[in-house]
Amino acid sequence: MSFFWYSGSNFVPIKQRHCEPMVIDSFLVDNGQVRGFDLHLKRFASQVPRVLPVSFPSMLATVLPEAGQWFPRLEYHIASQEIYLHLRPAPQLRTITRLETQGATDLREKPQVKGWDLPLLTKMRAAAETRGYDDVILLDAEGHPKETTTAVMAFLVDNTLHTPDPSLGILPSVTWELTQNALHHHGLQVAYGVYDWVDFHSATSVVGNALHGWTDVIWGSEKPSGTAAWLNSLILATSLVRSHSS
C-alpha cells in the first residue's frame, strides 16, 4: 500500500507511485514501536530539499500500523518533488549476517544520501545472495571497509566499539547514533578509524541497520558471539509511534 503526502495536509492512499525515488528512509515498525523514529525523520528531512512542517511526524504516525511488523519506506521523488510512503510488511528478521571477506569498491555517487544509489546497492546485494551471503562490504579506493550495502559496520575490542570514520564517505546511521548515545550513557567507549578488513575479521564484529538491528557477523562456520543481542538490548524501541499523533 502506498500513500501520497499533500503539503500541509495528510497522507492519502494511492494505487501506485509514478517514478523511482532518489531519497528514502526506512524503519522497522514493531507493534507500533520504532527505534529512533524522530532520528529517521530528521535524517530524511535533512536530505530532502523542501521544508517539512512540524506536524509531519504526527501525520506519518497516523498511517503506520499499530499491530504486526512493518518496514515502511519514506520516498522523495526529485522529478516531481513529491513525498510518498510505501507501506511494506517487514521481511524475515535475522540475528546473524554472513559476509564474505572480499568486499567491493564503493561506486556510489552520493554515499551520504540514502536512496540515491539504491539500484546499484540492490544489485550488489542480490549478487552476494546468489553466493550464499547476506550482504557486501563496501571498500574505499585503498581497500578499507566503509559499511555494507545496508548497514553500519563495527567491531568490539576491550569494551570499545570501533567503526569506520565518517570522513570515508558513509551514510549517517540512525542505529549507530542510538548505540553511541547508549554506550556513552553506560560509560563505554566508541572509536572511529580507518581499518583493514582483518581488523573486523579478527575481532568480534557486528553490523547494524534499522530493519534487523544489530546482527553478529559470521565469516565462516563460527558461532555467533552474542554481541549483537547485547547492543540491541541497549537500544530498545522506546519511541511509541502513536505518541506523535496524540
Model confidence band, residue 29 (pLDDT cutoffs 50, 70, 90): very high
Q: Are 142 and 168 in contact (CB under 8 A)?
A: no
pLDDT digits 0-9 by tens, 132-142: 999 999 999 99
Q: Which residues are 163's β-sheet partners? A: 192
pLDDT at 245 over 60: no
Nearest C-alpha neighbor of 115 from the set 38, 218, 26, 188: 26
Report the run of H or E that residue 155 belongs to, with start and end. Answer: strand 152-157
DSSP string, 54-106: TTHHHHHHTTS-SSSEE--EEEEETTTTEEEEE--B-----SEEEB-S--EE-
Average the pLDDT over 152-165 and give the result. 96
pLDDT at 244 over 70: no
Residue, of 210 and 49, whose pLDDT is higher: 210
pLDDT digits 0-9 by tens, 166-200: 999 999 999 999 999 999 988 899 999 999 989 99
Q: Which residues are 29's β-sheet partners? A: 70
- pLDDT of 216 reads 98
Distance of alpha carbon 122 from alpha carbon 79, whole angstroms:
21
Average pLDDT, the chain: 91
